[in-house]
Amino acid sequence: MLTANSLTLWQLTRALPGMLSGRRRQRAVLRAELAALFGVDVSRIGLYDTGRAALRDLLSAQGVGKGDEVIVPAYTCVVVPNQIPALGATVRFVDVCAQTLGFDWAMLEEALTPAVRAVIVPHNYGLACGVPADLRQRWPKVAFIDDAAHGFASRQQGTMLGTGHDGAFFSFEYSKNLSGGIGGLAIFPAGMTAPARDLPEVSCLDQWRLLATLKGHLLSARWPLLGRLALALYRRLGLIYRSSDAEVSEGAPHPVRAMPLLSAVLVREQLRHLPAILAHKRALADRYRAALSAVPGIRLWQEAAPGDCHWVRYPFALPMAVADKAAVARRLSQACGLNIGVWFDDVIHPAGSWRHGYQAGDAPQGERLAATVLNLPMNVAVADNAALTARLRRLTAELTRLLKENKA
Ligand SMILES: Cc1ncc(COP(=O)(O)O)c(C=O)c1O
Q: Domains (ranges, CATH) in the chain? A: 9-187 (3.40.640.10), 274-407 (3.90.1150.10)
142 lines ligand 1 (CB under 6 A): no
Task: Write the residue with the smallest CA distance to atom 3 of ligand 1.
Answer: 149
Per-residue pLDDT of the chain (408 residues; tens, 9 = 90+): 556 789 999 999 999 999 999 999 999 999 999 999 999 999 999 999 999 999 999 999 999 999 999 999 999 999 999 999 999 999 999 999 999 999 999 999 999 999 999 999 999 999 999 999 999 999 999 999 999 999 999 999 899 999 999 999 999 998 999 999 999 999 999 999 999 999 999 999 999 999 999 999 899 888 889 999 999 999 999 999 988 999 999 999 999 999 999 999 999 999 999 999 999 999 999 999 999 999 999 999 976 666 799 999 999 999 999 989 999 999 999 999 999 999 999 999 999 999 999 999 999 999 999 999 999 999 999 999 999 999 999 999 999 999 999 987
Q: Which atom of ligand 1 is nearest to the CA of 50?
A: 10
Q: Does the C-beta of 248 come closer than 6 Å to ligand 1? A: no
Q: Which atom of ligand 1 is nearest to the CA of 54?
A: 11
Distance, C-alpha 187 to centroid of its chain: 16
pTM exceeding 0.95:
yes
Contact 98, 73 (CB under 8 A): no
3-state secondary structure of 288: helix
Collect contacts of 23-31 with beta carbons under 8 A, ≥24 apart: 23/201, 23/258, 23/260, 23/261, 23/264, 26/261, 26/264, 26/265, 26/268, 27/258, 27/259, 27/261, 27/264, 29/268, 30/259, 30/264, 30/267, 30/268, 30/271
The CA distance from 355 to 366, in Å, is 14
Atom 5 of ligand 1, nearest CA residue:
149
**Of ligand 1's atoms, which has the minimum distance to the CA of residue 172?**
10
* Burial (CB count <10 Å: 0-12, 13-18, 19+), residue 375: buried
The CB of 80 under 6 Å from ligand 1? The reply is yes
